[in-house]
Amino acid sequence: MELNDANLQTLTEFLRKTLNPDPTVRRPAEKFLESVEGNQNYPLLLLTLLEKSQDNVIRVCAAVTFKNYIKRNWRIVEDEPNKISEQDRTTVKANIVNLMLSSPEQIQKQLSDAISIIGREDFPQKWPDLLTEMVTRFRSGDFHIINGVLRTAHSLFKRYRHEFKSNELWLEIKLVLETFALPLTELFKATIELCQTHATDVNALKVLFSSLTLISKLFYSLNFQDLPEFFEDNMETWMTNFHALLTLDNKLLQTDDEEEAGLLELLKSQICDNAALYAQKYDEEFQPYLPRFVTAIWNLLVSTGQEVKYDLLVSNAIQFLASVCERPHYKNLFEDQNTLTSICEKVIVPNMEFRSADEEAFEDNSEEYIRRDLEGSDIDTRRRAACDLVRGLCKFFEGPVTAIFSGYVNSMLAEYAKNPGANWKHKDAAIYLVTSLASKAQTQKHGITQANELVNLTEFFVNHILTDLKSTNVNEFPVLKADAIKYVMIFRSQLPKEQLLQAVPLLITHLQAESTVEHTYAAHALERLFTMRGPNNTTLITAVEMAPFTEMLLTNLFKAMALPGSSENEYIMKAIMRSFSLLQESIVPYIPTLIDQLTQKLLLVSKNPSKPHFNHYLFESLCLSVRITCKANPATVGSFEEALFPVFTEILQNDVQEFLPYVFQVMSLLLEMHSNSIPSSYMALFPHLLQPVLWERTGNIPPLVRLLQAYMEKGGATIAASAADKIPGLLGVFQKLIASKANDHQGFYLLNSIIEHMPPESLIQYRKQIFILLFQRLQSSKTTKFIKSFLVFVNLYCVKYGAIALQEIFDSIQPKMFGMVLEKIVIPEVQKVSGTVEKKICAVGITKVLTECPAMMDTEYTKLWPPLLQALIGLFELPEDDSIPDDEHFIDIEDTPGYQTAFSQLAFAGKKEHDPIGDAVSNPKILLAHSLHKLSTACPGRQSERRGPPVPAGLFTGSQCATGLKDNAVPFKRTP
């Protein structure tokens, strides 16, 4: 693409169309931009537009498009095409900093993010002058430019807060500190002086305080991994000024807005964070400054109001106290009973109250409320911070703190009892107080795992929680109902089973509540209860125990999705999935109705997929419907195809990229349900599955390979007879996959299925070329993963076609090649093969080479016979993998190794591990013994000539290897 006016005009028109709400206009424009983004000069055209366009909307749109383009394409991934030319990369890096600093703030933020994305890949090695270029701008005196530099530095350095320690990281931080620490400190001092100079100029102060907040954020990032020598030497400068800023109260910077935090609050919040970091990690060095920070932060807490704008400040200030009180050598600061009472009364209790702002969020912004309260993203809420402070205080003062709070809890509950309608918030605070007091350790998966023994959770449940759950009016006091449901959910591991069983029908009733928070919590609580483990790795609550409630559970879950605000509620869909998995065949009578509702929902969300987790659980539920019903009656697979194929066709035709990997997985599951034939509807689709464009997207590869494997398994002969012209296309897919280090194992999955299921005569003309391709890849890029897969394939070929055929095809490529492969690859590498089925294939294949290949008897290959037998014995002696994979019922998508945005494995579309040898050989050790016996009978005296290794005692005893795969990079592990 040339850098000319015509191309700029075209790009402008398409960018404008991407903003159109009509998908028929928007989608083609997005597709066009996607199709041209690999062209040279594309990023430069975007940068030119964002700099020179007269239309501000287009400038911002170009900036966002540029940032997303950089995000998708800047990283160079091995085996994948590099979409940005070196020339464009150099030009972008040469111009982007200047452009960012001279742009308006809205565009500056996008370019700043783009610089940090590029920096993550290229800094410091490929972009050594980035920091120097940025630091020199500090001298400009223009705070628009300075803040641009600080914002970019922040987005570049904030990853230091969560990166694992490594030499590479420390060398980078060392380089950054050498270039950046001194200028940052000088800028910090100069900015504070300017604040004093311009103390009465509100506009100047706003800019300067923005700078101070960014400087404070940078301080946090640069000090996170370890205490740098520079900052230790200059601690006096930083801490004295931080303390001064913490106690500063400039009336000009106070805002009337009750919701949005002002600059003063944001700066003080960050300083509290910085002080907490030092108190936690560098307490010895920070010791001289600690008392004054504790005093300043305490005064801040007791003087700050309840408005929402102070939430971040208050929660960070409380977090500081929490981090101090759990350190042993600050224990003396909190020992006094009066201090503890004061903290409880003035800090903890007021910040646990349910405010009108919380009530507003509960009713009008339920999604955000749930995200904060349920998913643990409430790090910056007052309640979470107060809860952490209670936990911190309980570390050394559990008895006194529990006693103090018990008094508060009792008085709050007494107030509620006097007038529930007016005083329900007192009970809400009491429940929260009990929860924070009782919780010692918590996980997402199991709820509270360790509780305060001084709190009687069961008694509190019976006296105060059950009453709300049993209330006949599910819409009365929704906050208290949600509290009660959450209590059951988080203390599920502490409450006895009979109380959980008592709660189940009550929770099912709460699915009908109008409040989004309430019915969402009910769905989530049920889903969590259904994943609790009982004895023998089974579920604690069984399908039999759920039998009386099955119909009500399914009805209410599906009805809940019709309630306002919950049409794509991921918690409800996850509960549907988990209910199906728990109830198994109990759901079969309801499936005809339910599958109709699920397909309607799928059709609806496919128009505009926006909730990835909801969509994932929807497809999981579809898979469960298919598996459970077809297990009971295999003939019903046709009914599912009738219901699902129209929706799948629409998804394929509209190229809904997010859903294609799911569709291919469900189709694999359906096809695998058929007896040994491929229905015509699948055969019509077969040629389309080989189109290169589908294989360009990495997310499609695992499910497409699985689907093609199903085609081979169910109709290898049909394909050979009626679609023989498609075999080159099939092998073309194999060739593409085998060339990629990331996907070569997928290529072997496909190749193994082709060898196993296709009629031998259909492959005669291609066999030699297949081996040549494999040898070329071995020569160019030999990885352990590739060798393991190669060994399994070679031995499968031997099992399928015989040892003589294997030896002949190797030697037809190059004389003596068979010996070279045995000597250089099979003998030294075979013990790296893992996985029961894979080891079995290799054992049977090598046994055939040892005992059924004449060339191993009387040629120069004979010398390889003893070491090959030794290698096989070594394979047998490897420890067996006796680990039992987790039952799929308990799996969360976060636990699934293949869960990512591009491709998500469906746990319930999984298939049992396939053994291509099957019952023909039950124990490869016994096969070897029989084969060696047969060989010695046929050729007496020959084995002693070979002087093979002694066979270890007990080698041919014992049971067959335990099933279970260890290494997911080895063929025949089906994509679950």
Per-residue pLDDT, 336: 87
pLDDT computed for residue 329 by the predictor: 78
Report the C-alpha gap between 213 and 205 in whole angstroms.
Answer: 12
Rounded Cα distance, 746 and 898, in Å = 13
Burial of 645 (0-12, 13-18, 19+ CB in 10 A): middle
**Does residue 451 lie in a domain region?**
no
801 within some domain: yes
- 462: DSSP letter: I
**Encoded tokens for 654:** 């509209």
pLDDT of amino acid 965 = 24
Residues 6+ apart with CB under 8 A from 5: none
Q: Across-strand partners of 437? A: none
CA 33 – CA 39 distance, rounded (Å): 10
Give the model's pLDDT for residue 443. Answer: 63
Cα separations in angstroms, 642 against 180, 596, 624: 65, 11, 17
Q: What is the three-state SS of 818-871?
A: HHHHHHHHHHHHHHHCCCHHHHHHHHHHHHHHHHHCCHHHHCHHHHHHHHHHHH
C-alpha to C-alpha distances, 205 to 182, 212, 250, 269, 971, nearest whole angstrom? 23, 10, 10, 18, 64
Torsion of CA 779, 783, 786, 790, to 10 degrees: 60
Residue 785 lies in a domain: yes
Total domain count, the chain: 1
In a domain, 637, yes or no: no
Q: What is the pLDDT of residue 958?
A: 34
Q: Report pTM.
A: 0.84
For residue 71, the tally of other CB atoms under 10 A from its CB is: 13
Range of the domain at 783: 765-885+901-941
How much is the pLDDT for 237?
97
**Residue 46 and residue 65 in contact, taking contact as beta carbons nearer than 8 Å:** yes
Q: Is residue 163 part of a domain?
A: no
Helices (H) and strands (E) in the chain, counts: 48, 2
Alpha carbon of residue 765 to chain centroid: 44
Q: What is the pLDDT of residue 864?
A: 96
Single-letter amino acid code for the residue at 472: T
Separation CA 719–CA 725 (nearest Å): 9
How far, rounded to the nearest angstrom, does the alpha carbon of residue 369 sit from its chain's CA centroid? 22
The answer to whether 154 touches 127, Cβ cutoff 8 Å, is no
* DSSP per-residue codes, 334-360: G-SHHHHHHHIIIIITGGGS--HHHHH
How far apart are alpha carbons 446 and 27 in whole angstroms?
Answer: 43
Q: How far is CA 155 from the centre of its chain?
A: 22
State the 10-residue block means of pLDDT for the chain, 976 residues long.
Answer: 91 95 90 91 94 93 96 86 91 94 92 93 92 91 92 93 91 94 96 93 93 97 96 97 92 80 93 95 92 93 89 93 87 87 91 90 92 71 88 89 91 95 94 86 64 83 95 95 95 93 97 97 97 89 96 98 95 97 96 96 94 96 96 93 95 92 96 89 93 91 96 93 92 94 94 95 95 94 93 97 96 95 95 92 96 90 95 88 64 55 77 86 92 85 50 39 28 29
199 to each of 141, 192, 194, 237, 238, how far by Cα in Å? Answer: 18, 10, 8, 21, 20
Q: How far apart are CA 613 and CA 385, in angstroms?
A: 28
Structure tokens, 175: 């380089």
Helix %, strand %, coil % for the chain, to 5?
75, 0, 25
The per-residue pLDDT for 959 is 32
Q: Counting beta carbons within 10 angstroms of the beta carbon of residue 735, is it exposed (0 to 12), middle (13 to 18) or buried (19 or more)?
A: middle
Query: Does 644 fall in a domain?
Result: no
* Per-residue confidence (pLDDT) for residue 896, from 0 to 100: 52
Please answer whether residues 672 and 710 qualify as being in contact, where contact means their C-beta atoms are separated by less than 8 angstroms.
yes
CB 673 within 8 A of CB 634: yes
pLDDT of residue 327: 85
Pick the closest to residue 212 from 132, 274, 127, 305 (CA basis).
274
Confidence (pLDDT) at 135: 93
CA distances from 53 to 105, 114, 303, 406, 794 (A): 16, 20, 50, 65, 60
